[in-house]
Amino acid sequence: MWLCIFTVILSLACITNSSAQSIPFSSDKWDISARETRVENYFGRESLYLKGGQAIFKDADFKNGVIEFDIAFSGERGFMGVIFRVQDSRNFEDFYMRPHQSGKPDANQYTPVFNGDSGWQLYHGEGYGAAIKYEFNNWMPVKLVVSGKRAEIYIMDMESPVLVTHDLKREIAAGKIGLKAGNLAPAHFSNFRFRNIDNPELKGVPPKVEKASETTILSWQVSNNFPEAFLDQKHKLSKQDKESLSWQKFACEETGVANLARLQSPRDGKNTVFAKVVIRSDHEQIKKIQFGFSDRIRVFFNDRLLYSGNNNYASRDFRFLGTIGFFDELYLPFKKGENEIWMAVSEDFGGWGLLAKLENLDGVKIQ
């Protein structure tokens, strides 16, 4: 008898875990906040029209498993998709589609959001976006399979993932699930459902990650945030300039990227921090440093301003994305003994980050 009861319970658990019913958008379990939203019939089915906001399913407690929905949109410029492991309105994992980039390598995007700052300029290329041609003005099925630090995204073809994300950037923590559409083009959603599964099957092969070289700066001291205007017309840092700063040690990701939004938000006009490092040289020498940043930077070396740069979205031409990489370089005049590099990094949107590496470690040591 007990064996029969156990078998029934196990069977029910398997059924619950292996299938999920669509959740109607008319349910009061949705928390919808958007510029435009309505539940309407679209292409023969109930759907949620969404523009300029999010629809959060309040009862979700999702860590690992499968999220599925259908989406329809035009070819207009827009950003629509799904957010998951939502901790609050400013901290979650984000996957969205770019209809206007259909067929191109950045037709979609995975990015973490830390403290309200989306990091797409820091996370680009293989593992963060993939080429796919969308079917406009038609229902397209979408499936996310999430397991630990990995995720696979399926669009239209439910057997082969279009994107394999090898390293979800936020901590592995259960949270809510939501649908989203940006302020530009709207999207329709239907047939939303999800399943919590501890170890869902993953089919894709994760891309190889190019780890940082030994010359990369992998740890910074990062200051509290302050208004960018504090540095206007400042060509040398004084003792008084430094007195108001507090510091915390910050470890970079394995690629060398320092996502500064992990520590604090660039809100309320305080959009700038210093990231500093001490490098000891055993003699006077000139050494090249390569670096990347988002969005703007001022580089002080031993208190003197050596460089100012702008990497903003569309700052160089209308196609310029402002993505981060080792695209800038300086030749630093090291003195014998301790030398300090202070990089003031300012953020508007799209990613608050920094990475840097020396040409070699001959005669120097990164403290």
Mean pLDDT of 314-325: 92
Mean pLDDT of 212-223: 97
Asked if the model's pLDDT at residue 16 lies above 90, the reply is: no
> Phi, psi (5° rounding) for residue 97?
-110, 150
What pLDDT, on the 0 to 100 scale, is given for residue 20? 77
**Model pLDDT for residues 120-160, shown as the tens digit of each residue:** 999 999 999 999 999 999 999 999 999 999 999 999 999 99
- Nearest-angstrom CA–CA distance, 174 and 165: 18
Instruction: Give residue 209's pLDDT band: very low, low, confident or very high (50, 70, 90).
Output: confident
- Nearest-angstrom CA–CA distance, 88 and 175: 8
> Phi, psi (5° rounding) for residue 12?
-65, -40
Asked if the model's pLDDT at residue 268 lies above 90, the reply is: no
Q: For 323-346, give one letter per residue: b (16+ CB within 10 A) or e.
A: bbbeebebebebeeeebebbbbbb
CB distance 97 to 79 below 8 Å: yes
Instruction: Give residue 92's pLDDT band: very low, low, confident or very high (50, 70, 90).
Output: very high
| Three-class DSSP category at 16 | helix
Q: What percentage of the chain has pLDDT greater than the value 70?
A: 95
Cβ count near 143 (within 10 Å): 16
Q: Which residues face 187 on adjacent strands?
A: 50
Mean pLDDT of 300-326: 95
Lowest mean pLDDT among 104-113, 184-193, 198-207, 219-228: 198-207
What is the homologous superfamily of the domain 22-196 according to CATH?
A: Exo-inulinase; domain 1 (2.60.120.560)
Q: Which residues face 277 on adjacent strands?
A: 341
Instruction: Give residue 3's pLDDT band: very low, low, confident or very high (50, 70, 90).
Output: very low
Answer with the residue of higher pLDDT: 9 or 180.
180
First to last CA, the chain: 68
CB-side exposure of 1: number of CA atoms within 13 Å? 0
Mean pLDDT of 46-52: 98
> Phi, psi (5° rounding) for residue 254?
-65, -20
- Mean pLDDT (the chain) is 94
Asked if the model's pLDDT at residue 15 lies above 90, the reply is: no
Which of 34, 33, 40 has its CA nearest to residue 72?
A: 40
Token pair 């057997």 in the structure block, residue: 159
CA 26 to centroid of chain Cα atoms: 31
What pLDDT, on the 0 to 100 scale, is given for residue 21? 83
Instruction: Give residue 206's pLDDT band: very low, low, confident or very high (50, 70, 90).
Output: confident
Asked if the model's pLDDT at residue 9 lies above 70, the reply is: no
**Model pLDDT for residues 218-241, shown as the tens digit of each residue:** 999 999 999 999 999 999 999 999
**Model pLDDT for residues 125-135, shown as the tens digit of each residue:** 999 999 999 99
Mean pLDDT of 51-55: 98
The helix (run of H) or strand (run of E) holding residue 51 is strand 45-62
Instruction: Give residue 13's pLDDT band: very low, low, confident or very high (50, 70, 90).
Output: very low
Mean pLDDT of 287-310: 98
Asked if the model's pLDDT at residue 260 lies above 50, the reply is: yes
What pLDDT, on the 0 to 100 scale, is given for residue 207? 85
Q: Which two tokens stand for residue 218?
A: 């992998």
CB distance 340 to 276 below 8 Å: yes
- Nearest-angstrom CA–CA distance, 256 and 145: 27
What pLDDT, on the 0 to 100 scale, is given for residue 300? 98
Q: In the chain, where does DSSP find H-type helix?
A: 2-18, 239-243
Q: Given this chain, do its domains 22-196 and 219-366 carry the same CATH topology?
A: yes
Mean pLDDT of 206-229: 94
Instruction: Tell me the one-letter amino acid at 193.
Output: R
What pLDDT, on the 0 to 100 scale, is given for residue 19? 54
What pLDDT, on the 0 to 100 scale, is given for residue 12? 37
Lowest mean pLDDT among 101-115, 202-216, 303-317: 202-216
Mean pLDDT of 290-297: 98
* Domain extent listing, the chain: 22-196, 219-366
- Domain topology for 219-366: Jelly Rolls (2.60.120)
Burial status of residue 357 (CB atoms within 10 A of its CB: 0-12, 13-18, 19 or more): buried
